[in-house]
């Protein structure tokens, strides 16, 4: 039986003064709950915007039937981040949908999860993308996609995108992924890059999850060029080791860390192995425990990223954040689908 290893060993936390990183690098008062930059004294909740795509999800069951739900990497992270932070933050999702019943259902579900919908565009005549998950006996997944005409491809190129792009630099944290880069297209990526630059100029922080999907790119060279542009504007990089190897050919964690000397905090997700963290000049390896029965690894990395970021926003050290990330991921991989039921 496959066993997946996840972090959950608080006894191995090391004293490190890691909160100094957030105090000196990520925000004047730390990345934890803080007074919002533009309205001092009025808003003590951090405002987080996550940019990306939510799709119609079809889960292929053993009996041949299909279960329909919704999912997408940054959407999964947004939902889990809101669950982890609760009322102590504002979590807004940034995307484009159609004017169809599936898009209506998505927005209803997001509102029920507490996500803000003010940055969601509804484009007449368009539809969301669709994907199907096929899962083998060991819990590993195969994805089939129908997304070429998805509304999100025009997310940053419509007239309605102008006020959204203008508002994003006012957030405390802007989060996006490699899938976000792919689905936005070249014009959308340039507008995103300009937004990231402006966000950092105003004191906001940029968080990036590498999520590399080769089939979404015209070529590996195009993907590398797009990634390198945005990585120059990232404060926290949440990197899956396998994706770094597939995209850039890095052979081990040392090569990954060496590739990003200007990123203040790099978190290397390594599946069943312990995660590795570099925060400023300090290194941490957070140990792991075994999950005996893996049902579905969908959203394991997305949920890890959500819990890691939530912990850091609440003032947790990198080790505590790593433990939180793997703790949530260990729950997610024991349930079919991307989003587990709420407690």
> Domain for residue 251, yes or no?
yes
Residue 1 pLDDT: 31
The label of the residue with tokens 């950092």 reads 200
Catalytic one of 73, 92, 235, 302: 302
> Domain for residue 339, yes or no?
no
Residue 294 pLDDT: 85
Residue 31 pLDDT: 59
How many distinct structural domains can be found in the chain?
Answer: 1
**What secondary structure letter does DSSP report for 23?**
I
Residue 44 pLDDT: 65
Residues 6+ apart with CB under 8 A from 333: 4, 6, 139, 291, 294, 295, 296, 297, 300
Give the CATH number for residue 59.
3.40.1190.20
> Domain for residue 343, yes or no?
no
Torsions phi, psi for 289 (to 5 deg): -130, 170
120, β-bridge pairs? 95
Residue 206 pLDDT: 98
> Domain for residue 115, yes or no?
yes
Distance (Å, whole) CA 66 – CA 54: 18
Residue 172 pLDDT: 98
> Domain for residue 341, yes or no?
no
343 is a catalytic site residue: no
Distance (Å, whole) CA 176 – CA 179: 8
> Domain for residue 151, yes or no?
yes
CB atoms within 10 A of CB 226: 20
Evaluate whether 27 touches 205 at the Cβ level (below 8 Å). yes
CB atoms within 10 A of CB 252: 11
Q: What is the pLDDT along the chain (343 residues), one digit of tens a residue?
A: 334 444 433 333 333 333 333 434 443 334 543 334 443 333 468 999 999 999 998 888 778 889 898 889 999 999 999 999 999 899 999 999 999 999 999 999 999 999 999 999 999 999 999 988 887 777 677 888 888 889 999 999 999 999 999 999 999 999 999 999 999 999 999 999 999 999 999 999 999 999 999 999 999 999 999 999 999 999 999 999 999 999 999 999 999 999 999 999 999 999 889 999 999 889 999 987 678 888 888 899 999 999 999 999 999 999 999 999 999 999 998 888 789 998 7
> Domain for residue 95, yes or no?
yes
> Domain for residue 123, yes or no?
yes
Residue 289 pLDDT: 66
**What secondary structure letter does DSSP report for 45?**
S
Residue 147 pLDDT: 85
Residues 6+ apart with CB under 8 A from 130: 55, 56, 57, 58, 145, 146, 147
pTM of the model: 0.87
Domain housing 186: 4-332
């Amino acid at each position: 039986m496959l066993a997946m290893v996840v972090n959950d060993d608080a006894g191995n936390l090391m004293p490190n003064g890691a909160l100094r990183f957030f105090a000196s690098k990520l925000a004047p008062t730390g990345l934890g709950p803080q007074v919002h930059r533009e309205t001092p004294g009025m808003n003590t909740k951090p405002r987080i915007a996550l940019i990306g795509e939510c799709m119609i999800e079809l889960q292929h069951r053993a009996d041949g039937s299909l279960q329909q739900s919704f999912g997408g990497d940054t959407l999964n992270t947004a939902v889990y981040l809101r669950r982890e932070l609760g009322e102590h933050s504002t979590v807004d999702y940034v995307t484009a949908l159609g004017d169809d019943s599936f898009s209506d259902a998505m927005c209803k579900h997001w509102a029920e999860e507490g996500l803000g919908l003010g940055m969601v565009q509804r484009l007449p005549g368009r539809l969301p993308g669709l994907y199907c998950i096929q899962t083998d006996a060991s819990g590993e997944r195969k994805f089939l996609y129908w997304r070429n005409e998805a509304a999100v491809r025009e997310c940053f190129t419509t007239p309605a995108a102008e006020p959204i792009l203008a508002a994003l630099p006012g957030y405390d944290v802007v989060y996006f992924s490699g899938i976000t880069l792919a689905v936005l297209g070249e014009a959308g990526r340039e507008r995103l890059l300009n937004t990231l630059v402006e966000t950092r100029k105003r004191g906001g922080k940029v968080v990036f999850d590498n999520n590399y999907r080769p089939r979404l790119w015209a070529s590996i060279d195009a993907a590398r060029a797009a990634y390198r542009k945005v990585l120059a504007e990232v404060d926290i990089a949440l990197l899956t080791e396998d994706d770094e190897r597939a995209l850039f050919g890095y052979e081990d964690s040392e090569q990954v860390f060496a590739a990003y000397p200007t990123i203040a905090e790099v978190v290397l997700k390594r599946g069943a192995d312990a995660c590795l963290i570099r925060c400023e000049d300090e290194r941490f390896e957070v140990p792991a425990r075994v999950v005996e029965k893996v049902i579905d690894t969908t959203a394991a990395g997305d949920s890890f990223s959500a819990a890691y970021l939530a912990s850091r926003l609440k003032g947790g050290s990198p080790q505590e954040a790593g433990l939180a990330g793997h703790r949530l991921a260990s729950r997610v991989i024991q349930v079919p689908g991307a989003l587990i039921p709420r407690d």
